[in-house]
Chain A
């Protein structure tokens, strides 16, 4: 609340400041030729299938830059700032979906019919000797995990609270996914002062040999790589996926960090047409991706809902569908299963992040070599935390028990990229590769239910402008295609008695994208079609849109985001892991910690469905208006 009040105060100041600036353009112009202030107001209104209004976001952004010229030994000195504030009215206008009235009472699948029904209300499952009190965790304000995408279909599920954390604090993970109503409405006004989106100073230092050291210090975005949509090398800044999943421009959803970036620019030499060595030091306090809190419109992979439900189970207990015997809804007590807490790396020098990049042009080839040590911005669930045995009441560490803490491991990356223009084909080819060590993946073959694996990701892209005279005789169309590949090394997976176990992510997977864009009316009307297909998941997203520049200041974008193909996927859910032997053994002699592979859609099937598959059913119509000044 304190944060919210402070945030609102900041919002007021920013709004007044912005209004003042907007109302005094003439004064601003006269005040200094060097200070340039621009900005925009944007309204994004989205409507989603079966949901209604899914976004009514109003954004005001102000950009300021001032060139200071030479200052002492430095040249090209300037400072830049970006302020951004937004209000998403969906939490007020559609509060029954996304706000204080969201969710309701839930029932969990009880396939066996034990107790007389194949579906039981939350709190009415088979009670373990150490169970939960529904009075502490009432059956209201919840959804069933994954209900928007799939039925339970014999798998696990549990109630997930969906109201903002000031209305319902159940499942709100302190310091990670704990947004209250105003945090959701006014997403930039938080204790990280995100409304100061960027603020940095640039300066150059020239050496006698003609080389230049260009430095940018401050809150900024640092972009590596040559790829659209996918983050292979572009991993320095975390991303806010809660804004619009993966579909917004990365410029708008990267989370700026306090970074020192220095480029030693060597220019042209005897071999290279251009050569630069870049050093990046992200000295900001660690920041994970914003994966979207359950109960908000964009929850990538539905992971935020899984986390909230699991934290609720840990803090309060709860009813889990089809758990005992694989078919009886079961009531667990608090501190037994679920997610306990998130370990958010505190600021320390050793927790900061460093990167090096050598980039240049050699003849017709542009290239880069990249190295980065950073903290994973995606969470890893590590088991092996002390938990209560639901049968005996004993607290201990139970191998293969679905009781986790969230960690953000350190990752080391080596990679590179290149681009090449083929004159014969009149096509630009782009390649980007990154190999990482230190990433962690869910793994039901490991006692702590995760493993560390190295990963290789790559993108191969091609861009070509093609005239289609029948459609447009004056302007060529842009065709841009990419194949994104991900290969997980030291991969573990095997078939067991009831299904496959191990790492749910595909050992190797590919996503293809195709962008076709055209221009009419002196580039004021630009339709585009973006399609993405996840090959292993069998999921496809098609996003047609039209951009209309009504005037130099006013831009309208209308579009749709449609998901076709497969949605949810199934995988081992560790119901048959037998962590509390003999109570959880499926049969006499069932080895402790040996999953038989009984699975369902939740929770690990999401890693096979991918971000495209998990968003099935979230078809949207989108209208965005931006007025620039």
Chain B
């Protein structure tokens, strides 16, 4: 072989390798965001439209998490099965992932990340041999598309229920607002809101609307880009007429007396560095993903000029959302608290591989017993409010936190709206709380 041929071959091989590598990289991103592009998951005996109950649950135990398995076995709930559907995230987020591919790495310590700008930090399939695989999945969740660049839950109904008799002990009505300061891919300004002198990552602003004793309570949380830094948080109490600075270290404290710890919000609301993360495997499981508009909804709790109604609840104690469940690809991740005094021994998160939301979590107490289990129902944005269509957001649409030891639950019924006009940057300031307060 002469030099010219050798050179051509080398070039060809290199080009092929580059193309192959590029293709492989492109596949990484597509595989991460479009797992059902080529095939639908299946399980023997499982079909859309069927109901899983006490009578037939045994054959589906491999695809149901242990908490829900026990609930079905006890007759507390029945699962309605729906067709697996693709919850495509916004293409800008996908492209941001593609743009950042290969540039993101974990820092030396848990809670440190380098090179992330936007998108999914680690779209590669987790490797069971990677001791930090669980941590990468946690970052994918933290920097997940979630509610997009901004959104609001207006309104948001929390109900505290006695699981033994279904009595609703308390109903709290909120407005929740979310805003990403950085990692913005869709709403202007992109990629970040400036100025941002404290390098904030995200803001959450909560207003309590009812009942009267907590009306006008407002909560503002500023989360920094630095995971090691605790949130800055402020509380406006209507009866005090002023803003109080909050100590945010007690993330295991129950929020407003509910069954949720502050740390539980959205699946996990703490620092990456507060947990030891371990990847337990990839599975196909029944997960709470559905089309909101196809459900039999709650006609009493909420009504408005949009005609929107919230998800209904039923089952034991009224603690279970009346939704459909579909078979989906899931990463099972365990999170064990670093702090030995944490009341939990661990949480098992069932992360949806496509959306990197955490629709199912099971929490265990220090004795290793099942303590609480958290379900966050995910609604497809194209079968929800008209304004959400095309947003590419997997809409958090219902939740249930069940304390099985106390036989008590807190349920959440959402009107999620992906609408930047509802969560403007000036709302996430301390002065806004004073201006809005009474």
CB within 8 Å of B: which residues of A? 33, 38, 40, 63, 80, 202, 204, 210, 212, 214, 221, 223, 225-226, 228, 249-252, 263, 265, 267-274, 276, 359, 361, 363-364, 366, 419-421, 423, 426-428, 430, 463-467, 469, 473-476, 519, 521-524, 549, 552-553, 555, 628-629
Contact = CB atoms under 8 A, between A and B. Distances in A.
Contacts of A214: 435
A274 B239 CA distance: 24
B213 interface: yes
Contact of B197 (A250, A269, A475): A269
Contact of A273 (B197, B241, B426): B197
A270 B195 contact: yes
A221 B250 CA distance: 32
Interface stretch (B48-56, B252-260, B318-326): B252-260
Given A249-B239, A251-B240, A465-B247, A268 B197 contact: yes
Contact of A524 (B170, B245, B343, B431): B170
A271 B197 contact: yes
B431 A274 contact: yes
B247 A463 contact: yes
B165 interface: no
Contacts of A363: 197-198
Interface of B: 160, 169-171, 195-198, 200, 210-213, 215, 222, 229-230, 232, 234, 238-250, 252-254, 256-258, 305, 341, 343, 408, 425-426, 429-432, 434-435, 438
A269 B193 CA distance: 11
Contact of B430 (A274, A364, A476): A274
Contacts of B408: 522
B239 A628 contact: no
A214 to B, nearest CB: 5
20 contacts: A252-B239, A263-B434, A265-B431, A271-B197, A273-B198, A274-B430, A361-B430, A363-B198, A419-B245, A426-B248, A428-B245, A428-B246, A465-B250, A467-B250, A467-B341, A521-B257, A522-B169, A523-B257, A524-B257, A552-B171
Contacts of B305: 33
A75 to B, nearest CB: 11
Contact of B247 (A202, A263, A427, A555): A427
B434 to A, nearest CB: 8
A465 B246 CA distance: 9
B212 A40 contact: yes
Contacts of A251: 238-241
Contacts of B215: 38
Contacts of B429: 265, 267-268, 273-274, 361
A473 B239 CA distance: 28
Given A249-B239, A366-B243, A466-B250, 11 more contacts: A251-B238, A268-B196, A273-B200, A366-B245, A426-B250, A474-B254, A476-B253, A519-B257, A523-B256, A524-B170, A553-B211
A526 B173 CA distance: 21
B212 A276 contact: no
Contacts of B253: 465, 467, 475-476
A8 B155 CA distance: 41
B151 to A, nearest CB: 20
Given A267-B425, A268-B429, A428 B241 contact: no
B258 A522 contact: yes
Contacts of B234: 366
The 10 closest A-B pairs by CB, nearest first: A523-B257, A426-B249, A628-B212, A522-B257, A552-B211, A419-B245, A465-B250, A223-B241, A476-B253, A274-B429
A521 B257 CA distance: 7
A522 B195 contact: no
A38 B208 CA distance: 14
A250 B241 contact: yes
A282 B241 CA distance: 18
B240 A249 contact: yes
A464 B245 CA distance: 11
Contacts of A364: 232
